[in-house]
Amino acid sequence: MTSVSLLAYETAQVAGLSVGQAKAMAATGAISVTPGWEPGSWTVAAGPQVGVLRAGEVEVRIRPRITIARLIFMLGYSTDPRSWRDDPAGLEDQPDLWPAMAQVFVRQAERALERGILQGYRTEESAKLVLRGRLREADQLRMHAGLAVPLEVRFDEYDVDIPENRLLRAAGERLVKLPRLAAPAMRRLRHLLAYLADVSRLIPGQPLPATQPSRLNARYLPALALARMVLSSRSVDMLDSGVRATGFLVNMNTVFEDFVTVAFTEALRSYGGRCVPQDRHILDDARQVKLRPDLVRYGPEGQPVAVVDAKYKSEAPAGYPYADLYQLLAYCTALRLPVGHLIYAEGDVTAVRVHVPNAGITIVQHALNLTQSVPALLADISALAREMTPEVAPAA
C-alpha cells in the first residue's frame, strides 16, 4: 500500500503510481495529478477537499490546516449552534478526519441509545387483506377496481422505524466502510448497526428525512447532527482507466462558509432584524447577472443593512488577483450598501479596509483566527458583528 499525506492546498511529488491510478485519482476532482519532472513521478496537488482517497493500492490522505477537533466543531456548530459550544473531547491524537468522525459519532450515538431505542409514529401506505386505518379510495379503484381484496390503506404505525433511527443507521453504515478504521471503533459501529437492524435503510439519492427537535428526541440531537454531517459529505466511488477510486471528502471552503454564516447569524440575533444566507439578488437591469452573498442582514424595516462573504482561502485566478474584492463590490452595488465585509481564515490575508472612492464603497477584510479557543473565536465573531451594526445597540 502506497500512502501519501498532504495538507489542504499542498503539493507533493509522488512515485509509484501507475497511469491508471493517477487518472482515477484525478478523475475524482478532489486532487490534481500530473506527470512530475522525474521519470515515473507524479505531482499531486490537493485543493480544498480534506479526507481520504483510495485507488487500488494507493491511498491519499488530505488533512486540514486546523486540528481535527476544531474542524468537527465547525461542522457541528454549523448544524446546531446551541449543542456545539466547544471542541469534541478525546481527539488530540487523531491526525485524520474520518476516523475521528467515526469516534465522535459512535460515542454520541451510544449516548442517544443508552436509554433504549426511540420509537414514534409513522404513516404507512400499503395493501392489506383486512381494513386497517383508512381506505385510500382513489388508489383502491385505480389499482383493484371490482376486487374486494387487497385493500389500499393508510395507517399509523408505532415502532422504531422512524427518521431519527434511519439517519443513525445510514451514518453508521457509511462510516463502517472507512479504510483503516481502528478496531475498537469498528466493533462499536457494528454493534450499533446490529442494535438498529429493525430500522429501514435510507434510499440512495433521496433527500435526507426531516426531523423536528422535541422533548422526545432531545437525547438524539447531537448524534443526529453528526449523522447529517457524515451523510452530507462528498462520497467518491468511480471507475476510471480500469481502476476504482473511492473516498470520503469534506470541502473546507464549504465548511468555513457555513460556519461563518451560522456564527454571524447567531451573533447578530440580538441586534434585531433578520439574516438571510445565500440570498438571491440581481446586479443588472436585464436580470442576467445573478448574485448570492453568503449572508445579508436586513433591518427591522426590511432594508439591507449589511452583507458578508466568507472565503476560507483568498482566491486569485490568473489575471484577476482581486477577484474576492470584485465580488463583494458587486454585492454592495446591488444592495446599495456603503460597506461590505469579507471574512477570511487567518493566515491568508490580514485585516485591511479597501475604500473605492468612485463608488463610495468600503470593503473591510477581516481575518478569523481558527486556532484560538472556541470562546475566544466566538468572542471575535461577536465583536465583528457589533462592528457591522453601528446603527443599533444590542437588545437587552
Side-chain half-sphere CA neighbours of 256 within 13 A: 25
Give CA–CA dist 103/188, Å, rounded. 9
Q: Cell numbers for 45, please give them.
A: 496537488
Q: What CA–CA distance (Å, rounded) separates 30 from 47?
A: 7
Q: Return the H-helix or E-strand segment holding 131.
A: none
Q: Give CA separation, 145 vs 129, 139, 140, 236, 273, in Å.
A: 15, 9, 7, 47, 56
Q: How many domains does the chain have?
A: 3
Q: Within this chain, do residues 100 and 173 fall inside the same structural domain, yes or no? A: yes
Q: How far apart are CA 335 and CA 23, in angstroms?
A: 44
Residue 142 lies in a domain: yes
pLDDT in tens, 186-219: 999 999 999 999 999 998 888 999 998 899 899 9
Range of the domain at 153: 120-159
* pLDDT the model gives residue 395: 47
Residues 333-356 have pLDDT tens digits of 999 999 999 999 876 566 789 999
Radius of gyration of the chain (CA): 25
pLDDT of residue 315: 66
Which of 52-61, 211-220, 364-373 has the weakest average pLDDT? Answer: 52-61
Which pLDDT belongs to residue 349? Answer: 64
pLDDT of residue 205: 81
H or E element at residue 45: strand 41-46
Q: In 285-393, where does DSSP find H-type helix?
A: 323-335, 374-387
Query: 317 with 354, same domain?
Result: yes
Look up the pTM and report it.
Answer: 0.83
Same domain, 91 and 140: no
- Amino acid making up residue 318: A
Q: Highest mean pLDDT range out of 13-27, 335-349, 353-367? A: 353-367
Indicate whether 109 and 154 sit together in one domain: no
Taken in order 334, 337, 338, 342, the sign of the CA dihedral is negative
Average pLDDT over residues 23-49: 89
One-letter amino acid for residue 239 of the chain: L
End of a domain among 232, 263, 290?
A: 232
